[in-house]
Amino acid sequence: MWRFYLIATLIVVVIGSVVFAHRLVTREWNLTARPNPSQTPTVTRGNGDEARAWSKFSGEGPWVMSALPNCFDQQSSKTGPAALLANDVPPERERVQPSTLRRGACTVIVREHDIWVFRGDDRLRVPPEARLYRHGDALTLVWERAGRMEIRVY
């Protein structure tokens, strides 16, 4: 009986070793040391230079300005059906026309339908349909997609 256990163990060890070696050589483990920009950003402690020392930060979504707290301090946000939040959108006369703005270490490029934010090597984008409004010192970001709206005030 012990011979069967020994043979079964050897078969498992040999097959496991071959599979492990094959994946190691072909790099199918998919191990990366880069952040996943499609997920919601997390707040890191420190001045942020530690993270930039090894990776450029890039991403896309309505959250990108919130991911740069040294440039933008989010005051409030609302998410819901566009029809219900339509009254919360600032007047069209306060809309920022296509231009370049600077706030702290960040450069904001406002285009007709999207917004780009740059900080050093970091590149972030608010995809269409994004609009930016200025009311006094505050900036209001309005992002619409598939009948939903997100409004963030900075």
Tell me the pTM. Answer: 0.61
> What residues does 102 pair with on adjacent strands?
107
Each domain of the chain, given as residue ranges in start order, spans 58-153
Cα–Cα distance list, 8 to 14, 16, 120 (Å)? 10, 12, 57
Q: Are 124 and 58 in contact (CB under 8 A)?
A: yes
Per-residue DSSP letter, 112: S
**Tens of pLDDT along the chain (154 residues)?**
888 888 999 999 999 888 877 776 665 555 555 555 555 555 445 554 444 444 477 788 899 998 888 899 999 999 999 999 999 999 999 999 999 999 889 999 999 999 999 998 889 999 999 999 998 889 999 999 999 999 999 9
Q: Are 76 and 153 in contact (CB under 8 A)?
A: yes
